[in-house]
Amino acid sequence: MQQTTSVRPILRSKIFLYVTEFFSGMAVMAAELGASRLLAPYFSSSQIVWTIIIGTIMIALALGNMWGGRRADKDPNPDRLYLRILIAAVWIALIPLVGKYIIILISGLLIISVSTNFLVIAAFVSCMIIFVPPLFLLGTVTPGLVKFTTDSLEDNATIVGRLGACNTVGSILGTFLPTFVTIPAAGTFVTFLIFSGLLLALPIIYFAAAKVKRVASAISIVIFVVSAILSPLTGFAFWEGKLTYEGESIYNYLQVKTLADRTILSTNVLFGVQSVTMKQGGLTGLYYDTALAAPALADKADSALILGMGTGTYARQLREYYPNMSIQGVEIDQSITNLAGKYFDEPSDIPVSTYDGRAWLEGSDEKFDVIMVDAYQDITIPFQMSSSEFFTAVREHLNPGGVMVVNMNMISDGEGSINQALQATISSVFNVGTNSESVVMADVEGTTNRELFAKAPSGEHRDSANTVTSANTMQQSAEVSALQRRTEELTGDAALTSYMGTVASRFETVDGPDADESSLVLTDDKAPVELLGMRAIDELIAQQSGPYKEVLRTKGISGLMQMQ
């Protein structure tokens, strides 16, 4: 073994071996975090996707450790180890160039061939193809370095400890730098290139010092340069002709698209629209219009809190139809707030706190007439904003007779559905005592959204004639004539008043959880919202892909390709 390492002078001091372990550990963690950001725009950033990423990478590293140890014992040649590092670095450098195409190809093939667990299967297959090979090769590094670094059994534990420390410190930097520095500043693609470049430098230096593998080194450098030049030319949604903005923040992938009549924000290239502004004002045709029933259902319409402000779509609508209403926004992603002012005409006089919605509630004693909860994206439902404890906090921040409106992204019914759980949880908080019919819901026509309205217990208030009365129950307020009359009284807008009639016609009363013993009430301790959300996504995919599957079954690939 000593003779093997002495062949290459660069390894005699062993410092280069420790440096190799350091940058190898850094590359592994950077690739893992990069994987989450590469997959998130297509499959979400849910705990499910994170579990798949971590699991597949750990499998790759474990297999690499085992195989690398056997190879080091059989053939203790450092040239082979650094060649594997070279291949891993080049592979990681190619991920920003070809990874997105592989993901879309896999998704396209699976969406017409699988019936359930599409997100799990698609994310798993994507990880296996894109990330397992280079991480397997990096898994061989540590056992190889132990073989080349250890001189005798007397100090082998010390050597292993040093290598472990180098790997751990590198992993720490590989964790913090992408999250807080490179991804927010330069994006996911450049992050892959930065850390693959650092990793690539190790074998290039090694082979240059040994004056071997010059052709392989030159080819690797060329591939890296080509990927560095071409990768930034296309984004995650590479099929889009022209985007007004595409970028990333600490929390999200961000895409702004300008259309003839509106500007939209998406944080996922496969699922939905997160915010929209209409260039001529008025109704959007999206779930925000249905949510405008909340002020008319409340006893008063003087103040509103929006948890999940986005680029301020609901705030703009409230300002348009309820100009005297005071509005407070809460948005965790400062980058989205910045886009709101630049592209979406968010009113500058509406305060927006950069905070987690639940944490903001815990730190405030303000009360509001309307609270909108709009923090759910596809299956990425923050569990801490879906529990009975959270909705209790919302209720406590409502004025008497105030209304909470929740945008539930996916229409999903039946036993074990996400909406059944959310509806049961909310009604367990609001349908109590004399306030037993305080929750109603309405599906949004032409979308996958459902809006749920929950009313806090009403106190006495004075009507326009200064007569003390008790507020209407939610069921009475949600009737077509009552909702239209209240909307006309508050806004005077004929178009909105007419639309509220269609909203009221879709209202359904939500029973309490006791009405269905199978209902799951979500709590901080138990809120499996991502697994429940995944079922809803499967249902939506099955509905949308049904025609394509039928064409594939009857006419084959040629028929599928002929579909417009």
- 539, pLDDT greater than 70: no
As a whole number of angstroms, the distance between CA 359 and CA 362 comes to 5
Helix runs in 453-507, H state only: 474-477, 480-491, 494-505
* pLDDT recorded at residue 462: 40
Contact 430, 456 (CB under 8 A): yes
Residues 288-311: tens digit of each pLDDT: 999 999 999 999 999 999 999 999
* pLDDT recorded at residue 357: 92
Instruction: Count the residues in the chain.
Output: 564
Mean pLDDT across the stretch 140-167?
A: 84
Mean pLDDT across the stretch 409-425?
A: 77
As a whole number of angstroms, the distance between CA 306 and CA 352 comes to 9
Mean pLDDT across the stretch 215-242?
A: 88
Residues 425-451: tens digit of each pLDDT: 999 999 876 666 789 999 988 877 889
* pLDDT recorded at residue 147: 83
* pLDDT recorded at residue 471: 45
Mean pLDDT across the stretch 62-80?
A: 90
Question: Which residue has better confidence, 435 or 267?
Answer: 267
What letter does residue 344 receive in the DSSP assignment? S
Strand order, beta sheet including 245-248? 245-248, 253-258, 262-266, 275-278
* pLDDT recorded at residue 2: 44
* pLDDT recorded at residue 555: 61
Instruction: Clarify whether 374 is annotated catalytic.
Output: yes
Mean pLDDT across the stretch 23-39?
A: 93
Residues 456-482: tens digit of each pLDDT: 988 654 444 443 334 456 778 888 999
Q: Which residue has the tokens 């009313």?
A: 455
- 239, pLDDT greater than 70: yes
What's the predicted TM-score (pTM) here?
Answer: 0.82
| pLDDT band with cut points at 50, 70 and 90 for residue 409 | confident
Catalytic residue among 333, 369, 374, 493: 374
- 4, pLDDT greater than 70: no
Mean pLDDT across the stretch 13-25?
A: 92
* pLDDT recorded at residue 464: 43
| pLDDT band with cut points at 50, 70 and 90 for residue 88 | very high
As a whole number of angstroms, the distance between CA 296 and CA 491 comes to 9
Range scoring the smallest mean pLDDT among 36-40, 269-273, 297-301, 469-473: 469-473
Class of residue 114 by CB neighbours under 10 A (exposed 0-12, middle 13-18, buried 19+)? middle
Contact 357, 389 (CB under 8 A): no
